[in-house]
Copies of this chain bind each other. A is one copy, B any other.
């Protein structure tokens, strides 16, 4: 059901949130439109994906069913497994800021904090939001309000940090990471620091 080519990548796209056809397409570099249509119908037939026709605008969005959403564990496991490859960074790697929504959630430990903290990642010309509160760690496609800290870095560096393959000190020394030490600590160090 999810072993066909592109299928699990479609799921990955929808794990960020419901999307329209063209948005799924743009997240999947190289997929043929006919194949995407075929995969979406297949995933719909097997109950992984749900096709919704929006009422007000003429829009069709695809979303994961509750069962399909349970593939998050699988995809996150793959994200964690592949971090050594991401850290390597082959020359032809593609990148979209939105992908961090999934990756960071998979890589960062699920911290909680009584006082909610908000961090914005400025990367590849886009902003994504990270929120840590009582409910745990949540990553969102768009930041909703003021940030307590802002991190500005290349994707590779951020992933390297999250994976623990790179230390904050190394990244700062290399000039590849901007943002105050306080900001960095807020995200990447121990819970006591976050909650202080």
Question: A18-36, CB under 8 A of B: which get 1 and which 0?
Answer: 0000000000000000000
- For residue A3, CB closer than 8 A to chain B, the reply is yes
Q: Give the contact stretch, choosing among A70-78, A129-137, A156-164, A175-183.
A: A70-78
Q: How many residues of A contact B (CB 8 A)?
A: 18
Contact residues in B for A142 (Cβ distance below 8 Å): none
- For residue A114, CB closer than 8 A to chain B, the reply is no
| Contact, CB under 8 Å: A74 / B71 | no
Smallest CB separation, A56 vs chain B (Å): 34
Contact residues in B for A3 (Cβ distance below 8 Å): 5, 8
Smallest CB separation, A84 vs chain B (Å): 7
Question: A111-132, CB under 8 A of B: which get 1 and which 0?
Answer: 0000000000000000000000
Which A residues are within 8 Å of any B CB, using their own CB? Answer: 1-3, 5, 8, 67, 70-71, 73-74, 76-78, 80-82, 84-85
